[in-house]
């Protein structure tokens, strides 16, 4: 797996910014060579000075190496920043293409998956650049260390061996620390995700009313602080452990260095080494130790990032969450109808059954209404029809073909819906109805059907007005957006559903819950006209809005308990009749 992970990381860097990557590599090679060159030139200058030789060219060369050593880190920094930007862009794009590819909703309801996604977001941005950085540091350190090891070996082979071996425990310690840090990142992710949730609640308009009215801000802040404290505690423990692991090897290394220095000074005093040798020796021991420590750290950083990047690879490579059954059939226009045959469903094995054997037919060109108490499973059934989940048992048939044989995108292109929990986007009015370049005239026609065209056209910037006050229209103009009322938002959502003007199935889950009675009546008439002989599934708690449906089905205890027309169900005197009587009594009471 780690080979594949490493290939993916480097592939990302190569694809995203090949020139910056090449530049970073080149500066690394030049930088690595400069240290050892400088040390040799210094030794040459000192030796020639003490022996009375010519020093001009070595001194000029030393000066040039010094200039290069000053400029190279800055060039390197610029190139790495560019590499980071481009890699961040590409990795984010790939990650969200994968996320967008989930056909169903289950991954978004799995905390483990959401943790992995957060880790993937973080390491998608960081890992490639960090990994390239550590590989380069490693190469640079390897070149430097090799240069100095060879140079030191000329002076004293046994001392060189001791210096190199003395630094080896640091490598093992760093690898251990890398594993600890990777485990820490995994442990803190759920806490960070929850912390972000609290921070969003405290900082966003959506929750601001309730937070203030119910005075829960301090409580939320305390919960957020508790999460941060827990994160800090985990990180503190890991840091202490790392310090302990690093302490021993660092002491060993320092002791070797000190002993070596004592030996070198005595050897120079005895005339065994030259004065130039001792400068080379001091530079060499320090560089070898620093180099080996840097190699250890680079290996450790690379190791940690590879461990974490597995999460990115896992998310990007996730297999389809809703498998397509063979043979794949294309989705023809609906001709006969949609049939749910003994459909059982629960959200997971840990959840209770939401549907327990639903049999229901929605004939082509007819309108079917679904009613039932809260939690009866109506919205669940809608989600199954859109194939956001597959039935746990039983089948849903589109003109006799199991939905699992149909390409999900083709199926959804034939369905339009207004969901109970419809979205309101922090975007312009036009974008709230259609995002993908639909001509304004079509958008306005849909808005007209939903009875919201006049309102939207009358906004300060018409259909370009932002329906939010969280963002400016354009940052430079600082134009304020507008806030629509709940019912107006519902009409915008209806317009979105009406835009797909020839859906084979139109689903409306509580389309009028936020509307005033006059608007409800008007929308009802429009919808009826718009629906025409279109196949539709209508869900509403307001029974007067569905009484004209061709068939009404009552969902109770996970099954279709009653079905018929409004009149036949009233005559039967069952659940529907009882619900209707209660609602009518409410209205009579109000009157
Ligand atoms: N994503 C989910 N994960 C787990 N359980 C869920 C999920 N969505 C709904 N449920 C459960 O499934 C059952 C049916 O919910 P559903 O939303 O389908 O009811 P409903 O008939 O649409 O209710 P309402 O009239 O209140 O909108 C409920 O018990 C609910 O708690």
Instruction: Indicate if 384 and 305 belong to the same structural domain.
Output: no
Atom 29 of ligand 1, residue of closest alpha carbon: 375
Residues of the chain with pLDDT under 50: 589-591
91 and 223 assigned to the same domain: yes
The reply to whether ligand 1 has any atom less than 6 angstroms from the CB of 348 is: no
Task: Determine the pLDDT at residue 478.
Answer: 62
pLDDT at 473: 66
- What domain count does the chain have? 2
What values do phi and psi take at 344, rounded to 5?
A: -110, 140
For residues 115 and 229, state if they share a domain. Answer: yes
Q: Are residues 299 and 347 in the same domain?
A: no
Cβ within 8 Å of residue 248, ≥6 positions away: 169, 173
Give the relative orientation of helices 217-269 and 205-213 as an angle to the nearest 10 degrees. 120
Asked whether 103 and 321 are in contact (CB, 8 A), the reply is: yes
> What residues pair up with 244 in beta bridges, in sequence order?
none
pLDDT of residue 2: 65
Secondary element (H or E) of residue 397:
strand 393-398
What sign results for the dihedral spanned by CA atoms 191, 195, 196, 198?
Answer: positive
> Would residue 163 count as lying in a domain?
yes
121 in a domain, yes or no? yes
| CATH (domain of 130) | 1.20.1560.10
**Residue 295: φ, ψ to 5°:** -60, -45
Burial of 240: CB neighbours in 10 Å, binned 0-12, 13-18, 19+: exposed
Whether 284 maps to a domain, the answer reads yes
Q: Look at residues 316, 350, 365 and tell me which one is the last residue of a structural domain.
A: 316
Of ligand 1's listed atoms, the one at least distance from the Cα of 372 is: 21
- Whether ligand 1 lies within 6 angstroms of the CB of 372 is answered as yes
Asked whether 465 and 481 are in contact (CB, 8 A), the reply is yes
Q: Is 353 in the pocket of ligand 1 (CB under 6 A)?
A: no
Residue 586 CB partners (closer than 8 Å, separation 6+)? none
Angle between helical axes of 111-155 and 18-51 (0-180°, round to 10): 20
> How far is the centre of ligand 1, averaged over its atoms, from the C-alpha of 438 (Å)?
34
Tell me the CA–centroid distance for residue 378 and ligand 1, in Å. Answer: 8
181 and 242 inside one domain: yes
Residue 349 lies in a domain: yes
- Assess if residue 154 is contained within a domain: yes
Q: Is the CB of 375 under 6 A from ligand 1?
A: yes
Per residue, the 3-state secondary structure of 330-380, as one string, reads CCCCCCCEEEEEEEEECCCCCCCCCEEEEEEEEECCCEEEEECCCCCCHHH
Question: What are the percentages of helix, strand and coil residues in the chain, rounded to 5?
Answer: 65, 10, 25
| Among the listed residues 90, 67, 86, the one whose alpha carbon sits nearest the alpha carbon of residue 23 | 86
Residues 347, 297, single domain; the answer is no
Q: Is 360 a domain residue?
A: yes
pLDDT value for 590: 45
Q: The complex's ipTM?
A: 0.98
Angle at 478 between CA 474 and CA 443, to 5 degrees: 45
Q: Which structural domain, as residue segments, surrounds residue 388?
A: 337-420+537-590
User: Is residue 311 located within the same domain as residue 344?
Assistant: no
pLDDT of residue 237: 95
Q: Is 376 in the pocket of ligand 1 (CB under 6 A)?
A: yes
Cβ neighbors of 509 (< 8 A, separation 6 or more) are 378, 379, 382, 417, 418, 419, 420, 539
- Ligand 1 pocket, mutate which of 380, 383, 510, 513 (most atoms under 8 A from CB): 380
- Asked if 231 and 298 sit in the same domain, the reply is yes
Q: What number does the ligand 1 atom closest to the CA of 510 have?
A: 27
- Which of 284, 316, 348 is the endpoint of a domain? 316
State whether 144 and 276 are in the same domain.
yes
CA 257 to ligand 1 center in whole angstroms: 69
Residue with tokens 């409800």: 520
Q: What is the CATH number of the domain that holds 581?
A: 3.40.50.300
Residues 149 and 224 in one domain: yes
Report pLDDT for 257. 76
* 132 and 243 both lie in a single domain: yes
- For strands 367-371 and 536-539, give the pairing: parallel
Q: 404-423, pLDDT tens digit by residue?
A: 999 999 999 899 888 888 88
Residue 559 lies in a domain: yes
Tokens 């600082």 belong to which residue? Answer: 478
Same domain, residue pair 343 and 373:
yes
Return the pLDDT at 591.
40
* Helices 2-16 and 275-316, axial angle in degrees (round to 10): 100
Judge whether 440 lies within some domain.
no
Residue 331's CB: how many other CB atoms inside 10 A?
Answer: 21
């Amino acid at each position: 797996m780690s080979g594949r992970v490493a290939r993916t990381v480097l592939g990302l860097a190569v694809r995203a910014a090949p020139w910056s990557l090449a530049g970073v590599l080149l500066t690394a090679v030049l930088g690595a060579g400069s240290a050892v060159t400088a040390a040799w030139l210094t030794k040459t200058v000192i030796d020639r000075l003490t022996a009375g030789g010519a020093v001009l060219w070595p001194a000029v060369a030393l000066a040039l190496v010094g200039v290069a050593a000053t400029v190279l880190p800055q060039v390197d920094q610029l190139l790495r920043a560019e590499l980071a930007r481009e890699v961040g862009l590409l990795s984010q794009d790939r990650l969200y293409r994968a996320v967008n590819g989930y056909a169903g909703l289950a991954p978004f309801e799995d905390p483990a998956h959401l943790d992995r996604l957060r880790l993937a977001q973080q390491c998608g941005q960081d890992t490639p650049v960090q990994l390239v950085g550590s590989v380069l540091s490693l190469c640079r350190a390897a070149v430097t260390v090799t240069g100095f090891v060879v140079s030191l070996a000329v002076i004293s082979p046994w001392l060189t061996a001791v210096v190199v071996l003395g630094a080896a425990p640091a490598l093992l310690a760093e690898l251990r620390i890398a594993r600890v840090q990777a485990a820490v990142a995994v442990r803190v992710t759920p806490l960070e995700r929850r912390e972000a949730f609290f921070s969003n609640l405290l900082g966003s308009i959506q929750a601001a009313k309730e937070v203030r009215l119910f005075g829960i801000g301090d409580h939320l802040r305390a919960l957020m602080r508790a999460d941060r404290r827990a994160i800090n505690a985990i990180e503190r423990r890991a840091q202490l452990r790392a310090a302990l692991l690093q302490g021993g090897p660092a002491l060993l290394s320092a002791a070797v260095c000190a002993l070596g220095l004592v030996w070198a000074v005595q050897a120079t005093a005895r005339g065994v080494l030259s004065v130039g040798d001792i400068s080379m020796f001091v530079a060499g021991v320090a560089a070898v130790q620093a180099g080996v420590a840097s190699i250890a750290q680079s290996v450790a950083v690379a190791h940690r990032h590879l461990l974490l990047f597995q999460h990115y690879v896992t998310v990007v490579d996730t297999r389809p969450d809703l498998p397509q059954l063979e043979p794949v059939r294309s989705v023809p226009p609906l001709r006969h109808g949609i049939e749910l045959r003994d459909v059982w469903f629960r959200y997971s094995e840990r959840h209770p059954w939401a549907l327990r054997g639903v049999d229901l037919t929605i004939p082509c060109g007819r309108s079917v209404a679904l009613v039932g108490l809260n939690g009866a499973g109506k919205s669940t059934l809608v989600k199954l029809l859109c194939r956001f989940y597959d039935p746990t048992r039983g089948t849903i048939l589109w003109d006799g073909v199991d939905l699992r044989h149909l390409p999900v995108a083709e199926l959804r292109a034939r369905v339009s819906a207004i969901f109970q929990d419809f979205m309101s986007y922090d975007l312009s009015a036009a974008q709230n109805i259609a995002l993908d370049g639909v001509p304004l005239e079509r958008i306005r026609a849909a808005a007209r059907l939903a009875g919201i065209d006049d309102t939207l056209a009358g906004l300060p910037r018409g259909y370009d007005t932002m329906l939010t006050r969280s963002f400016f229209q354009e940052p430079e103009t600082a134009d304020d957006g507008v806030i629509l009322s709940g019912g107006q938002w519902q009409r915008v959502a209806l317009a979105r559903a009406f835009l797909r003007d020839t859906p084979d199935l139109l689903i409306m889950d509580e389309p009028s819950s936020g509307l005033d009675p006059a608007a409800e009546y008007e929308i009802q008439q429009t919808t009826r006209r718009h629906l025409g002989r279109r196949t539709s599934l209508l869900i509403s708690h307001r029974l007067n809005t569905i009484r004209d449906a061709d068939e009404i089905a009552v969902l109770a205890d996970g099954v279709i308990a009653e079905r018929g027309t409004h009149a036949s169900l009233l005559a039967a005197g069952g659940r529907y009749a009882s619900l209707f009587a209660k609602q009518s009594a409410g209205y009579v009471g109000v009157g």
